[in-house]
Amino acid sequence: MKKTNKIILNIAYWEAYFIFLFLLILAATQGFKTGPDISYILKLGIGVAVVPAMVSFYVHYGKLFDHFVKPKKYKELILFSLLTALGSAAVGSVDIVLFFGTDFLTQAGGNSFIGSLIMMSGIAAFNGIMGIMLRGFIERFEERKKNEELLEKNKEMELALVKSKLNPHFLFNTINNIDVLIMKDPADASAYLNKLSEILRFMLYDTNEEEIQLSKEIEYIEKYIGLQRLRTANEDYVDFKVNGNIEDCKVAPMLFIPFIENAFKHAGNKKAKHAIQVHMDVEKKELLFQCTNKYELDLQTEIKDSGLGNSLIKKRLELIYPDQHELKITRESGVYQVMLKLNF
């Protein structure tokens, strides 16, 4: 929700609250012959019904919601809510003393003072509850909007991924390479054909899930790299390494492959050693993915705007891993590098 809309909602609440107070004052002063003392009512109303209400409302709206409602610490919420209500009443009492002096609260005795504190605490507690409800409404609205945006972007991403992963050139080249290999080495040709079949099966079924096991994603990457190796006789063309324990890790499907596809698309000399390097390191709840490829300097402009758009990839990461990822892309001296860090 935009900041302007949040401000409007807050203003609307206080307008309704002040209208209610105004109607209450009209009803309470209906029988007075000389009419109400406006100055007196304003000063008393500010101390009794305005200051405690606003203090409690925004303490609940901001601090208590973040610290206790979000993490569902309801026992602590009740305790601190009561303390906030009493503290807000105390602030209101200070305002009354500033307006009317210390004798005003005690002129009718101790019971009157305690009664005033209870009344102001009740007003503060009511507004505190309303502060939590308004903040909860805003949070729920933002979460719903975010989910809708995520769904929309995921659909957009899926379409882009379909275009990328079902690239006719990749499929035709792979099939042609396998066809040539059938005559030379039928066993290898069969193995590569199985890899292609497994890749297609993965793309059709596993990518429909919100999260998959990291091991499945790595298997897909290995098969994809294996098929790409058909295009070169250089066994050291690609350096692919995975370090760490990946058993308990889950990631969004097809998260890394766009970077790897772009690396293969723009890698330069196919005879160079480690022209493409894909490394993945997993340590506890952190994953570091690095994809590096060497390219010819005259292709720099083309690389900048090619492949699956970086802006779309960044948006997907922001939606799926908000505040849980760090993406850094560098292009320097003929080396294009992607570093993606995920916190689970």
Q: What is the pLDDT of residue 301?
A: 46
Of 33 and 203, more confident: 203
Give the separation between CA 252 and CA 212, rounded to whole angstroms.
Answer: 6
Of 50 and 110, more confident: 50
Q: What is the pLDDT of residue 34?
A: 62
What's the mean pLDDT in 209-234? Answer: 87
pLDDT tens per residue, range 288-331: 999 999 887 665 444 444 445 677 788 788 878 888 999 999 98
What six digits make up the tokens of 20? 């209610």
The ranges assigned to domains in the chain are 3-146, 166-343
Give the separation between CA 307 and CA 284, rounded to whole angstroms.
Answer: 32
Do 319 and 337 meet the contact criterion of CB atoms below 8 Å apart? no
What six digits make up the tokens of 330? 């560098």
DSSP helix/strand/coil, 31: coil
What's the mean pLDDT in 193-203? Answer: 82
What's the mean pLDDT in 147-161? Answer: 70
Q: What is the DSSP letter of 30?
A: T
Query: What's the one-letter identity of residue 335?
Result: V
Nearest in space to 263 (alpha carbons), one of 233, 321, 298, 221: 221
Give the separation between CA 239 and CA 334, rounded to whole angstroms.
Answer: 18
Q: What is the pLDDT of residue 265?
A: 84
pLDDT tens per residue, range 55-107: 999 999 999 999 999 899 999 999 999 999 999 999 998 888 888 887 776 66
Give the separation between CA 285 and CA 340, rounded to whole angstroms.
Answer: 14
Q: Is the pLDDT of residue 344 over 90?
A: no
Q: What is the pLDDT of residue 103?
A: 74
Of 183 and 132, more confident: 132
Q: What is the pLDDT of residue 209?
A: 78
What's the mean pLDDT in 108-113? Answer: 60
Give the separation between CA 85 and CA 119, rounded to whole angstroms.
Answer: 10
Mean pLDDT, the chain, rounded, equals 84
Least confident of 11-25, 45-59, 105-119, 161-175: 161-175
Burial classification of residue 194, based on how many CB atoms lie within 10 Å of its CB (0-12 exposed, 13-18 middle, 19 or more buried): exposed
Q: What is the pLDDT of residue 277?
A: 95
Give the separation between CA 329 and CA 336, rounded to whole angstroms.
Answer: 8
pLDDT tens per residue, range 333-343: 889 999 999 99
| Fold assignment, 166-343 | Heat Shock Protein 90 (3.30.565)
Q: Is the pLDDT of residue 7 over 70?
A: yes
